[in-house]
Chain A
């Protein structure tokens, strides 16, 4: 009973470490790394459900009876692409944030965002949009 679920528990550990990094780390690149760890662990969840005991890769050939389930593979192929697209877009945002704020630490950015607000009382013209 335990061994049959073991793979899922590994996945949960990976997933949660990813999620923890996303929330607890202030560095934006670290956040994206956490995010991609979180996503890849989901891939493992899908792929391990597709495995059939004694099966082989889902490519038809002579003398093969058991095949693993191809559908989760297809879904995860799509999900990988979605994952890299998100990561790439996130990285592009990080570059722009670095240029605009001079930092990629969440705390610095929040401080910088709050600064003008206290000043704007006098000259709202330069304030936010």
Chain B
């Protein structure tokens, strides 16, 4: 129990090279699934430990915190760890079936190794309490992400991956510059230590620059409007399984970093009072919602459509942050959680379609409602959840967001948010129309329902979607107390 924080990261990490020794793809898949499940169980145990004993600090190498590297788990970390490891496990269930048709056979083992490394990277970013260690694990997750995206079938995947590599590396280097300047002003890399030493030098120009570089770097990774250009193609051309995994987790990790740096490391008063970050987030978030949702309406490829929708959803999440209130932050965290569930389900369902008909052009979805009823129902339910229809998880987070906005008396923003949801209705309706009210294309008449492993993983997420839309005790309690502790209030 004592070593859970490190085991969380090291088990998938060590499993990756082991896969190389196992060789047989089928075996590697089962092994990866097993490892991911173990990681999920550990994250649940960690959450339980955090809620009973409070923040867990783990000193790596037995060296005390500012000298050695520290793993620090509080409720926010635990929440993220659960999101990542849970979606990774569910997605992996369908992985073997899906990559059969999308990735050449001799690369299956490598695919799972990269998948596990990417999981490791994300878990490492979330667990660590050391600013430089964040950079190292960020690179593990990024390098594996570039390779995974490049495994896509089309040649556009290569180009998307290259663009992502350039943007991602610029982002990571910005973060590195920021960390360096911060270190130069304080002499420490430990986040907790930084948060205590930064206020003394908060008025300096250097710290301002450091802050800007870190935030811009993270926003590049986050695909916050207008730094989102790499995302749609990366999501659309990556293998379906990779898209499902990243759509559910990658941006979430970046948002976690944003929250960690603005709330914990630099501190609230610096981030939101000294600097105009609040207004900036609000404007960029709103523009992101409107622009990306409008772009989504015109997409011909459903993967592109939902990729733009992901950019829009980042907007909702950022607006929650900009309210600078416990309620708003709760909404942000809730939406992190819920969005992971719904986007995971939607992209998995799209993966099932690609498995059956070979592509994800909207036209090809005509009449599939009768051919693949369970998969199509999942896409529609996921879409309803994106809109925020009651009884789905999406409703809960939208509700909290609106409450937070109204608490702040930001009526115009609330109205714009509703407008954004209206745009969501439009693009979801386009899909519903094609699926249920059109005749199937001639070449798709013999299409059948997706394989059982696909259905299991899709419907696990869909049921979770309903569950967290109805019984909100777990998600709301957890996010609320995480938000409170970030604001320095005891829960």
Q: Interface on chain B toward A: helix, strand, loop, or mixed SS?
A: helix
CA distance A128 to B177 in the complex (A): 38
| A-B residue pair count with CB separations less than 8 angstroms | 95
Asked if A42 and B159 sit within 8 Å, CB to CB, the answer is no
Chain A CB within 8 A of B231 CB: no
Most buried by B among A15, A28, A82: A82
CA A22 to CA B176, docked complex, whole Å:
18
Query: B293 at the A/B interface (Cβ < 8 Å)?
Result: no
Contacts A93-B146, A113-B159; A127 near B361 (Cβ below 8 A): yes
Verify B158–A90 contact, CB threshold 8 A. Answer: no
Q: Flag whether A75 is at the interface (Cβ < 8 A).
A: yes
Q: How many residues belonging to B are interface residues under a CB distance threshold of 8 Å? A: 41
Contact B169 A96, beta carbon cutoff 8 Å: no
| Contacting pair A93 B158 (CB below 8 A) | yes
A67 touches B (CB below 8 Å): no
**B56 contacts partner chain A, Cβ-Cβ < 8 Å:** no
Q: Are B180 and A82 in contact (CB under 8 A)?
A: no
- C-alpha spacing A58/B153, complex, angstroms: 50
Chain A residue nearest in CB terms to B160? A113
Q: Mark B341-381, 1 if CB is under 8 A from A, else 0.
A: 00000000000001000111101100000000000000000
**Within 8 Å of chain A (Cβ to Cβ): is B166?**
yes
Contact with A along B143-154 (1 / 0, CB 8 A): 100110010111
B363 touches A124 (CB 8 A): yes
Q: Give the contacts of A58-84 with B (CB-CB under 8 A).
A: 71-72, 75, 78-79, 82
Contact string against B for A residues 18-38, beta-carbon threshold 8 Å, 1 for contact and 0 otherwise:
010010000010010001001
User: Given A31-B166, A128-B236, A38–B146 Cβ distance below 8 Å?
Assistant: no
Which DSSP category, helix, strand, loop or mixed, fits chain A's interface? Answer: helix
Q: Is the CB of B361 within 8 A of A22?
A: no
Interface residues on chain A, size class: 35 or more
Across the A-B interface, the 8 shortest Cβ-Cβ residue pairs: A100-B155, A129-B359, A82-B139, A93-B162, A97-B158, A96-B158, A124-B361, A49-B184
12 residue pairs of the A-B complex, CB under 8 angstroms, read A31-B166, A45-B177, A72-B183, A79-B135, A86-B165, A86-B169, A89-B147, A90-B169, A93-B165, A97-B158, A101-B155, A109-B159
Given known contacts A49-B180, A85-B143, what 18 new A-B pairs fall within 8 Å (CB)? Answer: A22-B166, A22-B170, A42-B180, A71-B189, A78-B132, A79-B176, A90-B169, A96-B150, A97-B158, A101-B159, A127-B359, A128-B156, A128-B359, A129-B152, A129-B154, A129-B301, A129-B303, A129-B358
Chain B residues with CB under 8 Å of chain A are 132, 135-136, 139, 143, 146-147, 150, 152-156, 158-159, 161-162, 165-166, 169-170, 172-173, 176-177, 180, 183-184, 189, 236-237, 301, 303, 354, 358-361, 363-364, 443
